[in-house]
Structure formats: structure tokens, C-alpha cells
Structure 1
Amino acid sequence: YDYLRLLFARIGKPHCPKCGKEVSRQTIDQIVEQILKLKTKTEIAILGPVIRGRKGEHQGILEEIQRGGFVRVRIDGILHRVEEAIALSLDRKKKHNIEVVVDRLISNKDLDRSRLVDSLETGLKLGKGMVMVNDLVFSEHFACEECGISLPELEPRLFSFNSPYGACPACQGLGKKLEVAPSLVIPNLNLSIAEGAIFPWAHASHKVGRQGYFWWQLSDLAEEYNFSLDQPVKNLSKKILDIILYGSGSFEGVIPSLERRYHETDSEYTRSEIAEYMIERICEVCQGKRLKPEALAVTVGGESIAQVVELPISRAQEFFRNLKPKNSELKIANPIVKEIINRLQFLIDVGLNYLTLDRKAATLAGGEEQRIRLATQIGSKLTGVLYILDEPSVGLHARDQGRLIETLKKLRDLGNTVVICEHDPQTIRKADWTIDIGPGAGKHGGRIVFQGTPKELLKSRTLTGDYLSGRKKVDYNPSTTRTPPPVSPKSQDYLIIKKAAEHNFLISWG
């Protein structure tokens, strides 16, 4: 993910998070070069935008422009002398655009470059980083001239949900928010407020807020909105119930009060008490993406960083292989992209091509966790290390077993020792040395019954040797073993898995 953040910071294309339009920035020299490319004898007006789409008369702004010594302004596309503009009295209910005319020039080969630069600098200062040349808009910052939204500098920390610079401000980069649930606050609609329908206030400790403490506020509220505290909550109108839950005027509301106390309290007991009335929801601002809108509006290859990490690892690698940076970006992008592709290949080699990069560690199976750490170690290229793995093939599809074995061999070939506790026949056959512990399981084992090469193990008279060599086989009795019926190629049967929330389903069809 660190390499992804670096790539997006270096070659990302920022867009306005509101309208989606791509935004760019230019240096003074770049703006000058653009102007010098204009046709000879073109009239050039250097304008400093001071008001962009804002309602009001803006009398104070116009007077300030006059005090600054400027002679002309452009208001809503029409040129005026400043004193005339002040006398206009703009409609305060309409949105206006006001630009200060900094300078007027004629493009030709003798154009005074230093005067042009000075005028552009003045325009940028007036426009707070934005200047207009006739109707062309230039900005030295990432900013959308239509929406008036400025974007921050593209830095790796902008794409980190662990940094306040990049984290979604609504959920602090978690992607989820704890919110007080109305159904938990008032679980029994048959009770009246007087009978304790507001469960947290009726049952919580004094630190959360007893109902008695709020009783006078509730009484005033009932009098103001003409309802009774003695009638069942189910008989209250939706409007009244919303006022009780979310507040009105001086009454804070039950839910805002609980949420405020949850965030402000120093007591873990109080926080855990309030948490009983809260549920976890996807953040409505970032939709679970964990980053602020400005970061999500930056794209590489037409995709945001959130969209890239949602891809399965195999598809993510394909995305980066097909990425074609501009010639000016190649020197920066190629080393980063190469490193990303290599690291994704490590994960593919250990059979994790189906995982997405945004997968939470807590949802991984034990074997998946081990294989991720394994891929990390291969990437680090450490030598002289003893690795001990406990059944890394757990949960691995048979077709990926060979790739895992090749990965283990790479780790060995780097100059490391790899010790594996494993029952998979394919892995045992590929080992350099095997140690068979038995003769039985649990309390019936614990002794070394064989050690040697896999070939020697096949000749040994241990249980493992017997089954591995085929001298013994697992009994299969069709009369007692349930087997699925054969599926016709034309079968319309299908499988539906509902509400799957734990780990993985890897299903082979046919």
C-alpha cells in the first residue's frame, strides 16, 4: 500500500470531488508560455478573480479594489470602471463573478515579458492562486474554478487513512462509524417516557444521564409540543419522536447527547455503557473507503486508489501491467509500478490471488495470514533465517499447492531454513528432509518414528510411509459415503450462499 500511495502522489490526476472535472496547476513560466503562443495582435486582459459565484452586493470588495489603485473590473462578463461598478448596486440575491483588470496587453514579438510576469503575479495574488487571461483560467494550485474547491498537494500521506491529512473526517479513516440506534434507545414502544421508555436514561449510571436529570427538559418539551409523557411512545407522532431523539431548540436530544458523551468522556466504563446502545454503520461520507473526498478524487489509469485496492490481487496486477504512464511520467512511475507488480506476484505465488488488497486482517484464515507473511519475507530477501510454518497449505486450493511449494523453495534458496508442520502429501514429497512423529496421534504419539528423505520415507514401515506410498489406502464405502449426484452439463441447478460474512468460499465447478 505504501508503493500505491507513492504512485498516486507522483502521477495521480486530481479531479474536483464535487463535479468530477480534472484539475491542474501551472507555474508562472508555464502560464507565460501559453500566452506567448497566442496569435499576434491578440488583445490580452490579465484578470484577478476576487469573487466567484457568490451572492451579495459586494460593495466593500469593490471599494477595496478602488483603494488598491485599480481602474477597471469585470462583473459577470462586462467591463466597468471601478467607480461605475460601485454605483451599480448589484442584486444581492444573485450570484456574481468579479475580476480585477490588472493589465491589458497586445501579443506580439516585442511583448514585455517582465511586465507580463509582474501582472500575472499580481493577478495570482488577488485571485489567491488563480488568474484569468481573457476567459482562460490558470491556477498555481489544484483548484476547480467552477466549484471553487481547492485540493491539497498530492503527497503520500493524502492517501493514508492512518493520517489525519488523508483520513475521512467523518469516520477518522475507519470506514465505519458507531452510531446510537433509535431501536436500542427505545426498545419497548408500549412504555411511556414516564415509565422509562428512554432506556439509557432510565437504566444507565448518572454519568450517562439519569432520566430525572432531564425530566424538566422533557416536561418543557411536552408542554411546547403538546404531548403527554404518560402516553405510550407508539402513540406519539413521528415528528414528536424525532424531536425527542434528535433534539429541537435548547433540547439537545437523546441520541446527540449520548454520542457527545461517548466521545467526550474520559471514563472507559461510561463509554462501554453507551456503546451498548450503538451499532456499527458504513460511513455515509466515504462509503467505507476510509479516505477523504479529495484523495478519492485522484486517479491513476482512470481508477482511484480505493477502486484499485478493491480488485482481486490477480486483477490488480493485470491493471498495473497494462498501465501506460505519459512519457514525462515514465522515469518516476516505472520503478514504482515494477515494485508493485513484483510484490503482487509474491502474493499470487502463495495462492492468494483471490484476495483483495483492502481485505481486513481479522477476516483472514490462519493459512492466509501465514502465506501473507511468507510473501513479505520473500520480498525482503533476508538470509540466514529459520522459518517455522504450521500447515501453510490450510485452505489452499489443490491447484495452488505447487506454487506455494515453489515459494518455499525460493525462501530456502535465499539461504534460509524452512521447517513445516504439514500433512499434505504433495508438500511432504517435495521436502528435502522429513521427520515423522508418531506412531499415533495425541497421547498415542510424540516419538520420532522416522527421519530421512521423502524417498526413504516411502520405503519405511510407518503409517505415513504406508499411506504415502500407496501400500495402505483410506477405505471408501459407497454405501456409507454420501456423494453428490453427477451434474449434467445442461443442468440449470445453481448454488445460492446468503449472508456469507466469514472467510472464503473457494468452489470448484466440474
Structure 2
Amino acid sequence: MINDIIIKGAKENNLQNIDLTIPKNKLVVMTGLSGSGKSSLAFDTIYKEGQRRYVESLSAYARQFLGNLEKPNVESIEGLSPAISIDQKTTSKNPRSTVGTVTEIYDYLRLLYARIGKPVCPNHGIEISSQSIEQMTEKVLEIVEGRVEILAPIVKEKKGTHQRELEELRKDGFVRVRVNKEIRDLDEDIVLEKNKRHDIEVVVDRLKIKEGIRTRLYDSIETSAKLGNGKVIVLINGEEHVFSENYACPHCDFSIGELQPRLFSFNAPFGACPECSGLGHKRKVDPKLLLPDKSLSINNGAIKGWQNPDTYYFKMLKTTAKHYKIDLDLPIEKMKKKDLDIILYGSDKKIDFVFGGKSEDGYRHQKSDFYEGVITNLERRYLETSSRFMREWIEGFMSETTCPVCNGKKLNEAALSVRVGKTDIIEMTDMSVKDIIKLIDNLKLSKQDTQISEMILKEIIERLSFLVNVGLDYLTLSRQAATLSGGESQRIRLATQIGSQLTGVLYVLDEPSIGLHQRDNAKLINTLKKMRDLGNTLIVVEHDEETMMSADQIIDIGPGAGIHGGKVVFQGTYDEIIKSKKSITGEYLSGRLGINIPKERRTHDNGYIEIKGAKQNNLKNINVKIPKGVLNVITGVSGSGKSSLINECLYKGVSNKIYRKKQPQGEFKDLLGTDSFEKIINIDQSPIGRTPRSNPATYTGVFDDIRDIYTMTNEAKIRGYKKGRFSFNVKGGRCETCNGDGVIKIEMHFLPDVYVPCEVCDGKRYNKETLEVKYKGKNISDVLDMTIENAVEFFKNIPKAYNKLKTLNEVGLGYLKIGQPATTLSGGEAQRVKLAKELHKRISERTLYILDEPTTGLHTDDVKRLLEVIDHIVNAGATVVIIEHNLDVVKVADYIIDLGPEGGDNGGKVIALGTPEEIAKNKKSYTGMYLDKVLKR
């Protein structure tokens, strides 16, 4: 058995023909500068080859469904195990996907509720139960003293169809029927009832209870249950007793059938709320979005999309207004509510509508009908139209509202009636992970329910504990998967993998510590060690110092980025790397290099932004003052409310004010001190483009400048080439054989598709004529293939292009190619491209910058350069607000707002405010505890 992964001749992307031996069943950290090649080695070479080999072991039929799995550019890899990648991509964009469904905990909860759940009547609040015929018989025998009538429940509008059954029963005992409220003997001609509509109730038997009649009683109850679909009414001394083989309330018609796991699924019709189909919300046209400016009248265009008075719908609106004497010249804010309701939701009586001319030759159409209303009309057209454009246009006026039937709980009334303890299944999933564990620990179950649920609860607790161990105890199981950050999503998949208890697997992880506070880092590291101890190999791409200290081996790729990287600079233990003079990582870990703490902090001389009464998500009605013109850092443990405060309240609130938008924003009472801003820039980690045609050059606009340069060359002028000639997105200059892609896709059916360079343009994207135009000896394709670092030197005499390229280089992206497809960029790289785009614009004190964890994917050396760029922005007078866990960023802040103390329901409070030195002295702050060590170091 091979105990190592032996790699020979790895040349994927910028890897420099690497030979490397990695020990198996160890925790191995790969580190290095951004763009050094560590992801190329870990994901694009090792993981990709492990996945490819596994797929190749499958049948040709199975392989056709698994997409393109090309062999990475490596001579050989020996000792590979089946590989699983746990990266930062969001788990699912599907609104039905939740933390509970992704981790499969919700499946176990459904089983739990189906097995030991107790239905409670929603109308009377009493527990209801089902009984077998045996149990019913025993119960009657317990309580009976006197005459008994066993009745089948009411059968509506059957009109004598039970005649045959009644005749059979007559042989065994005394039988009567109750027609409506009147009881008749069977001797009466029941057939006569066929032509009438009656509620018929059958009295199956009437007897005096004596010894030896138990069998007759059992048979009577059984017959009654068959006739009554499981429901039996027993009259004992004139008092009615209701029994049911189903779960049924004795006081009302509420009943549910057998409890099954599918009843508790909001993704299946059996359990989903019929109104919202299990989504918990409905998309409705929002009057606020439809009528953004209430100072306008309807005639002056108050209703968006209904400004043209000559349209069919507007003419109907005018006729309706005339009928009800509604003044359409009156501003919306001054209109009576009942008048506005008619306009928006329709009329309560028919109106005569006339369309067309009045002359004999003119077209004239007349009809009498109800007026539909603007909102009713849009919602109807939204459901009926097949036009994607129309649906997207109407969606611009829509917002999500809680389902009025299930109140956002997603399930139908029957499912929500079932309780474990006093909690329905949705109430349980709305709790945080740690609170569910407490609830389960405190459950008081009967001996039978304890035995039934033992294995189910064990599985639920184990999986919940895995989430706790990766620092996600603040999450609720009902949290939509699409709202999770990259780090949260990755750690959820990590927790799921722990639950699988696999051994002999190669796990490749991409910075699992992202978004994790230092306090929770130890939990994550222990989880990684547990996975290793099960007999798995873990290759973790990571920059976190604690993770490196805990690793069995560190592999440092470098020494630089791009063409300057791609080599193994160091391989060994933590104690060995801090002694290495060749490794820049070792230089920082040892303290020989570092990010300096500012000699003095900026003062708050420019006033404050004030957020008052913030209640979004878990925020506890907090008031926060953010100083202007300084570097602000928002800290706190995961789930403490940082994103709720900054992204939902601050960014959306200020954006709505500046740009007069009406986008949904976080819940807060007031937002003050924002009038001084004329621009707000949110630099997050969403992609800069979703197709390979988008790249750093097109996104930042430098490609426009480059095309201008080529248009101005003598050769282009002689040929009459305009700017469009140098675009690979439009006809003219691009290669039409590959449509400017540079590659041709060859479908191989049962084998992976093969991408080959276009034979006509040889992968250069442009036609021969366009490539003949050169600037300083290079054509447009050569420029796209340049690294940004080289392009800075190449275009140094063209200020417009040079400044943009220089900025890209300054934020640490010099190793990227100008034309590198956007789809190949990481979240951190995309964020820095966005930052670069903003940096070459004018920066002033009237600009507010918001950055969400900008250090994602960055080596300490890259963080150092990023902080220099941010420092430049603040020195220009702008206000910068950063959400961050990285202590190298936190320690250079002018002002820190620390939220907590915990995540989820136990977070959302302001724990500490002030400079890093002030936070470090605060005993209540977890951030301060770790910051204190950094400042002292």
C-alpha cells in the first residue's frame, strides 16, 4: 500500500513542473501568496485527477451524465484516494434548500415527528389520538353501564346507497337509521330516501352489555368504523363518545390521517401549505415600489409603467375614476384610501367601458365589466405571460410577503398540529442549533416514546453537534442555504462529511476559516483533526496561523505570484518554516516581517453616521455611531449581527437615500448623518461576470482604453478600423469560426467533451486581419495574454490605461492575465478587481466605502498591500467601513465596533466601541481578548 501521494511534473496553470510527495492520513496545509499556484496544485491538479479517476471507474453509461473531466496537466500522480472537494461556493440557490435539508437533519426531524408526534386540535387546543378497534372496544367496556348505541358518522348525500349493508347487518342484530335528526327503524323503506338529499347516520347495534358480548361489541364497532371512514360515535346512557382510527377531534371536524414523514415535508404536496406551495412567502406587487413618489398624481405619472394615458389599461382606469368621481390630478398622498384601493385593487361593481371613435366609420368597442385594478392586473399578467421580459418587468414592482395562510411556516394545518413536547416542527427549526440541543435534552417522553425515538434523537444530536464543532451553533435549521456566506456554506458541508464517517478519503478544503472568529477557530481545527484521525487525508488551502500551527505538514508555494510562483518553496513542520529564510510565509510567522500598527489613530473630527433602533434579524434594537473620514472595522463572533447592521441597514439605507431607491432595507428606526455623502460603494465578493467573456480588462474598463490605442495606430487608420474591430464580442474583428472564444468544443458523447484551440485563429480569438494591427510589436490578442504586472510596464506611456492597470497591480492582482475569464477568479480576486475599478476614480470625503471581509484568500503579504490601498482611500477623506475577522486589519483600525457577545439570538448587541487599544482592555469582548495578544506582540 502506498503511504504517500507522489506527484510528478505538475504544470497546471503557473505550476513550474513540480515534483512533490505528500504524506497520506495527515493534515496538510498549502499556503503561499495569492496567485502563487496553491489552488492550481490542490484543486486543479490533485482533486481534479482524483475525481477523474473515480469517474473513469464507472460505466460508460454513467460517465455520460458527469460532464467534462479532463486530465490535469501533470505527468503522473500515484497513491491517490477518492477525492472530495469542500470549497466556498454557496450550497444552493434554491429557496427550498435550508440548513436543515442540506445537513439532512430535517429528514430525521420529520421521522421523529411522524413516530412520536402528538396532534393537537388547532381549534380546541386538545391532544387528539387514534385508536384501534381493540382499543375502542376495551374503552367502551371500561365505562359502559347501561344501553349502548353504536353509530357510524354522518354520510352526506349518499341517498340510500347503504341499503345492502344494512340488510346484512339486520341478520345479526337490531338495526336502526337516523335520517337527519330522526331515528327510524330499518323496517321503513329506506329505498324511498334515494330521491331525497339527507344526512343519514346508521345505528349499527343496540344492546345491553353483559358478560360474553365483547365479540358482538367488537364486531359492531368494526362495522361502524368501516361505514364511517374510521370514525365511530358511541352513545352510552345518552352521552356521546367519539372514537377514531384516524387522529380526529371529538369537538370539531378537524382530523388527520396516519402520521408519515412526508406530512412534514414542505417540498411535497402532501405536507406543503396549499397557498404558498411550501415556500412560506408569496411574491406580490408592492404598492411602495409601484408608487415610489407619492407627491405625484396619477395623471402626472405616479404609477410606474402606467404613465401613458393612451393605453388600453389607462383608459379603463380613467373611466373607473370618472364613475367613482376620483380626482386623478390629486397627489397620491392626498387621495382617500378607499379611492386608491379601487385604483389598485379594482371596483366592487360593473362599469360601462367605451373604446374607440364616435363616428360611423370609427372603431368602437363597448363592454360592461368590473374594473380589475392596477395591482390585480399586474399579478394576473405575471402568472399568465410566457414572456420572460414581461415577468422580469413586473418583478421589479414585487416584493416577498409572508404567506397569510401558514404565516411563513411553509406546512399545512395538519402538519403544524403535530407537536413533540409543546413544539411543532417549524418552531423547532426556527431555533438556533444550540437551542435545539437544549430542547431535546429537556424533552420529557413516555417510556414507549423514549424507546421509539432513541436512535432518531441520537442521530439528530450527533449532526447538530457537528455544526457546533465547526462554529455554526448560532444558525437556525430554517435558514435558507442561499443566504449563507462562503465560509458558512463550506463548514456546513464539512459538518455533513463528518457525519458520513467516511475513511480513506482525500479531502481538499479551500480556506475553511473564512468568516470564522478566532474564538471558534479551535473548534474547526479539532474537527479537521477528527476527520484525519478517521483515516483520511486533508489538504487545506489556508493562510490562518493557528491552522498552520496544528498541521502535520506545511507546503509553501511561491515564491511570488503568477509567473513568479508555481514552485515548492518549503515543505515541513511549523517549527521548521519559521526558521526558513526562503519562505515569505515563514518570515511573517516568525515575526521577522509584519504589518505595523499605526503610530497614531485618526480622530473623529467629521461627525458620525448614526443608525438608530436597528432590529434587523438578531440585532437588539441597537444604536450605533460610525465616525466619518476614518477606517472603521466591524468585528464580532460569527452570527453576531455584523452583516445585518452593515449590509442590510447601513448600505441599503444609505443607498436608498442617495440614489432615491426603494429597495427593501434592514429594519431600523432612523439613519442620520448621511446627507454629506453623494456616493456609496459596496465592494463584496460576488462574481464580476458569469461568462468567460468577462474579464478584469472588460470589468475595469481598461479594455476600452486598449482598444482606443489600437484604433489610433497608423495601420488601423489606413485600414479604416474602428473601435469595434478590436472586440471579441461582436462581428467584424473576431474569429467567426469560434465566435471570439478562441476554443472549439468537441462533443465526445460517452467520453468527456474536448476543448481544442480554434484551428482558424489558433486560440487568439481574432481574425487574421485584426491581428495584423500591432502596437509596440504586439497585437490585441498578445495584450490579453499579458499579465497585469507586465501590462503596467507595456502601457506606461498611456496614462489612462496605465493608471487602471497600476491600480490592479497595487491591490495584488499583478499575476492575473488581462484577459483572464471572470469565471476562473476567486471571490477575493473578484472583490479586489472591484476595488481597483473604484480606486482610479475620484475619491473624496463624500464617498462611503463598505467592504465585506476583503482579506478572503489573501496571504499576510497581500493583506499588507491591501491595507496600503485602503489607507490611501481614507487619507483622501473617504469613510471606510470593513467587516473583518483578520486581526491584521482589526489592529490598524481607527475605530472598532464589536458586536456579540455570541451568535444568533444571543448576539446582536454592541459589546465594545473604540480604538484597538480600548477594545483590547474590554474583558467582555472576545475580539479584545485576541487583539490584546496581537498588540502586545
What is the TM-score with the length of structure 2 in the denominator?
A: 0.46
Could you tell me whether the CA contact under 8 Å between 2:299 and 2:307 is conserved in 1? no
Looking at structure 2, the residues matched to 376 and 387 of structure 1 have their Cα atoms a distance apart, in angstroms, of: 13
Higher RCO, Cα 8 Å, sep 6+: 2
1:347 aligns with 2:446: no
Could you tell me whether the CA contact under 8 Å between 1:38 and 1:107 is conserved in 2? no
Task: Classify 1:283/1:452 alpha carbon distance in 2 versus 1 (closer, same or farther; 3 Å).
Answer: same
* 3-state SS of 2:150 partner: strand
Answer with 432-441 or 398-407: which moved more. Answer: 432-441
From 171, 176, 193, the equivalent of 2:276 is 171
Map of 2:218 onto structure 1: 117
Shift of 1:477: 5.5
- CA deviations on 1:212-233 (whole Å, 9 max, x unpaired) are 3235644553454344556655
Task: Classify 1:232/1:367 alpha carbon distance in 2 versus 1 (closer, same or farther; 3 Å).
Answer: closer
Map of 1:156 onto structure 2: 261
Task: Classify 1:190/1:422 alpha carbon distance in 2 versus 1 (closer, same or farther; 3 Å).
Answer: closer
Looking at structure 2, the residues matched to 17 and 270 of structure 1 have their Cα atoms a distance apart, in angstroms, of: 41
From 202, 206, 211, the equivalent of 1:104 is 206
From 219, 239, 242, the equivalent of 2:338 is 239
Map of 1:437 onto structure 2: 557
Looking at structure 2, the residues matched to 126 and 218 of structure 1 have their Cα atoms a distance apart, in angstroms, of: 56
Could you tell me whether the CA contact under 8 Å between 2:282 and 2:402 is conserved in 1? yes
1:318 aligns with 2:438: yes
Shift of 1:340: 0.8
Map of 2:571 onto structure 1: 451
Amino acid aligned to 1:359: R
Could you tell me whether the CA contact under 8 Å between 2:177 and 2:200 is conserved in 1? no
1:383 aligns with 2:485: no
Looking at structure 1, the residues matched to 135 and 462 of structure 2 have their Cα atoms a distance apart, in angstroms, of: 37
Could you tell me whether the CA contact under 8 Å between 1:180 and 1:255 is conserved in 2? yes
Shift of 1:184: 3.3
Amino acid aligned to 2:118: K
* 3-state SS of 1:178 partner: strand
Map of 1:47 onto structure 2: 151
Could you tell me whether the CA contact under 8 Å between 1:62 and 1:82 is conserved in 2? no
- CA deviations on 1:159-216 (whole Å, 9 max, x unpaired) are 111112222222222222111122333445565555554433446xxxxxx9632356
Task: Classify 1:126/1:312 alpha carbon distance in 2 versus 1 (closer, same or farther; 3 Å).
Answer: same
- CA deviations on 1:75-113 (whole Å, 9 max, x unpaired) are 88xxx6449xxxxxxxxxxxxx99654332222222252
Task: Report the identity percentage.
Answer: 49
Looking at structure 2, the residues matched to 354 and 216 of structure 1 have their Cα atoms a distance apart, in angstroms, of: 54
Looking at structure 2, the residues matched to 129 and 261 of structure 1 have their Cα atoms a distance apart, in angstroms, of: 45
Map of 1:132 onto structure 2: 233
Amino acid aligned to 2:382: Y
Unaligned 5+ residue runs, structure 1?
A: 52-57, 84-96, 204-209, 483-493
Task: Classify 1:243/1:474 alpha carbon distance in 2 versus 1 (closer, same or farther; 3 Å).
Answer: closer
Answer with 360-369 or 434-443: which moved more. Answer: 434-443
* 3-state SS of 1:347 partner: helix
- CA deviations on 1:227-256 (whole Å, 9 max, x unpaired) are 455665556432222122212242222222
* 3-state SS of 2:143 partner: coil
Map of 1:465 onto structure 2: 586
* 3-state SS of 2:305 partner: helix
Looking at structure 1, the residues matched to 522 and 327 of structure 2 have their Cα atoms a distance apart, in angstroms, of: 73
From 482, 490, 493, the equivalent of 1:373 is 493
Shift of 1:375: 1.1
Unaligned 5+ residue runs, structure 2?
A: 1-105, 168-174, 186-198, 350-369, 604-620, 625-640, 649-851, 853-882, 884-898, 902-910, 912-923, 926-937
From 469, 473, 483, the equivalent of 1:363 is 483
Could you tell me whether the CA contact under 8 Å between 1:437 and 1:445 is conserved in 2? yes
Looking at structure 1, the residues matched to 345 and 601 of structure 2 have their Cα atoms a distance apart, in angstroms, of: 62
Map of 1:29 onto structure 2: 134
Shift of 1:374: 1.0
1:423 aligns with 2:543: yes
Task: Classify 1:17/1:407 alpha carbon distance in 2 versus 1 (closer, same or farther; 3 Å).
Answer: same
Task: Classify 1:194/1:460 alpha carbon distance in 2 versus 1 (closer, same or farther; 3 Å).
Answer: closer
Question: Number of paired residues?
Answer: 470
Amino acid aligned to 1:240: D
Task: Classify 1:142/1:201 alpha carbon distance in 2 versus 1 (closer, same or farther; 3 Å).
Answer: farther
1:412 aligns with 2:532: yes
Looking at structure 2, the residues matched to 366 and 66 of structure 1 have their Cα atoms a distance apart, in angstroms, of: 68
1:221 aligns with 2:345: no
Looking at structure 2, the residues matched to 363 and 316 of structure 1 have their Cα atoms a distance apart, in angstroms, of: 21
Shift of 1:127: 4.2
Task: Classify 1:148/1:495 alpha carbon distance in 2 versus 1 (closer, same or farther; 3 Å).
Answer: closer
- CA deviations on 1:307-337 (whole Å, 9 max, x unpaired) are 1112221221232233343222334311111
* 3-state SS of 1:301 partner: coil
* 3-state SS of 1:153 partner: coil
Looking at structure 1, the residues matched to 266 and 113 of structure 2 have their Cα atoms a distance apart, in angstroms, of: 14
Task: Classify 1:286/1:81 alpha carbon distance in 2 versus 1 (closer, same or farther; 3 Å).
Answer: closer
Task: Classify 1:12/1:65 alpha carbon distance in 2 versus 1 (closer, same or farther; 3 Å).
Answer: same
Looking at structure 2, the residues matched to 224 and 26 of structure 1 have their Cα atoms a distance apart, in angstroms, of: 62
Map of 2:110 onto structure 1: 5
Task: Classify 1:125/1:253 alpha carbon distance in 2 versus 1 (closer, same or farther; 3 Å).
Answer: farther
Answer with 121-130 or 2-11: which moved more. Answer: 121-130
Looking at structure 1, the residues matched to 289 and 474 of structure 2 have their Cα atoms a distance apart, in angstroms, of: 38
Looking at structure 2, the residues matched to 412 and 100 of structure 1 have their Cα atoms a distance apart, in angstroms, of: 69
Map of 2:712 onto structure 1: none
Could you tell me whether the CA contact under 8 Å between 1:459 and 1:465 is conserved in 2? yes
From 162, 181, 185, the equivalent of 2:286 is 181
Could you tell me whether the CA contact under 8 Å between 1:202 and 1:211 is conserved in 2? no
What is the TM-score with the length of structure 1 in the denominator?
A: 0.80
Could you tell me whether the CA contact under 8 Å between 1:192 and 1:229 is conserved in 2? yes
Amino acid aligned to 1:424: D
Task: Classify 1:212/1:107 alpha carbon distance in 2 versus 1 (closer, same or farther; 3 Å).
Answer: same
Task: Classify 1:475/1:225 alpha carbon distance in 2 versus 1 (closer, same or farther; 3 Å).
Answer: closer
Map of 1:88 onto structure 2: none
- CA deviations on 1:459-480 (whole Å, 9 max, x unpaired) are 3224433443455665445644
Could you tell me whether the CA contact under 8 Å between 1:325 and 1:333 is conserved in 2? no
Map of 1:142 onto structure 2: 247
Amino acid aligned to 2:535: G
Task: Classify 1:119/1:217 alpha carbon distance in 2 versus 1 (closer, same or farther; 3 Å).
Answer: farther
Looking at structure 2, the residues matched to 426 and 399 of structure 1 have their Cα atoms a distance apart, in angstroms, of: 11
Matches within 5 A, 1:228-307: 236-247=335-346, 248-249=348-349, 250-307=370-427
Map of 2:715 onto structure 1: none
Map of 1:91 onto structure 2: none
Shift of 1:427: 1.2
* 3-state SS of 2:154 partner: strand
Task: Classify 1:211/1:30 alpha carbon distance in 2 versus 1 (closer, same or farther; 3 Å).
Answer: farther
Looking at structure 1, the residues matched to 223 and 340 of structure 2 have their Cα atoms a distance apart, in angstroms, of: 57
* 3-state SS of 1:303 partner: coil
Looking at structure 1, the residues matched to 231 and 414 of structure 2 have their Cα atoms a distance apart, in angstroms, of: 19
Shift of 1:422: 1.7
- CA deviations on 1:2-49 (whole Å, 9 max, x unpaired) are 11111111111112233332221112121112112235x433222334
Shift of 1:263: 1.5
Task: Classify 1:282/1:443 alpha carbon distance in 2 versus 1 (closer, same or farther; 3 Å).
Answer: farther
Amino acid aligned to 1:242: D
Amino acid aligned to 1:105: L
Could you tell me whether the CA contact under 8 Å between 2:558 and 2:565 is conserved in 1? yes
